[in-house]
Homo-oligomer: A and B are copies of this chain.
Amino acid sequence: MKVLIVDDEEMIRAVLREYVEFEGGSADEAQDGMEAVKLCRENDYDVVLMDVMMPRLDGFSAVKEIKKYKNIPVIMLSARGEEYDKLFGFELGADDYVTKPFSPKEVMARIHAVTKRSAGERRVGDVVEYEGLKIDMVGRSVYVDGEKAELTPKEYELLFYFVRNEGIALTREKLLSDVWGYDFYGDDRTVDTHVKMLRGNLKSYRKFIVTLRGLGYKFEA
């Protein structure tokens, strides 16, 4: 497995490289987006780990550039809570993201996930349709029977998260920690309210969001 690690902090690169090599992979390093683009043009990588905040060319722009000519899975580093929102604002093709601070163990798990993703699993960049419900995660738009649904940012995030975890039972805690952020300290029932609003906007397709009594919710088409 060949990995490209893009981060301006040498220590982070070193730690990630160590983990990749420990598992028998090899890694190249780039200090910024410009270098990353250049290396990707010259080499074939199985996956790119890309920091967001970097000098010269930032992670978002680098991904955009790389994806123009090569379809390599990209995992973004950083993008916490609020930045998660921005992630969708850009027209990028990141396949996954990891919030800092991350444990290298977690990063490795994501690498394995994106490199051998099974056919049925969803990626951030997919456009999916369930009956008359069309969801475009890159364009950040949702259509209900052909009509554009105006969702709030949280509603988009929640829906996208549901879709990426189709068929999986999700507790309120899991939703709060993954959609709101691991440092969200608040009421469980906040989830309920947002589910209510989201369901309202999905009109007849509210049925896809199933209540799992005593547990939480699940997206099921």
Contact = CB atoms under 8 A, between A and B. Distances in A.
Contact of A177 (B104, B105, B106, B116): B116
Contacts of A220: 139
Nearest to A95: B103
Interface in A112-132: 112-114, 116-117
Contact of A153 (B18, B95, B110, B215): B215
Contacts of A24: none
Interface in A83-113: 83-84, 86-87, 90-91, 95-97, 101, 103-106, 108-110, 112-113
Given A15-B91, A91-B15, A101-B97, A213 B139 contact: no
A154 B106 CA distance: 23
A14 interface: yes
A175 interface: no
A110 B95 CA distance: 16
A18 to B, nearest CB: 7
B183 A87 contact: no
B14 A182 contact: no
Interface string A179-192: 00011010000000
A90 B13 CA distance: 12
Contacts of A152: 213-214
B113 A177 contact: yes
B11 A140 contact: no
Interface of A: 11-12, 14-15, 18, 83-84, 86-87, 90-91, 95-97, 101, 103-106, 108-110, 112-114, 116-117, 138-140, 152-154, 167-169, 173, 177, 182-183, 185, 212-215, 218, 220
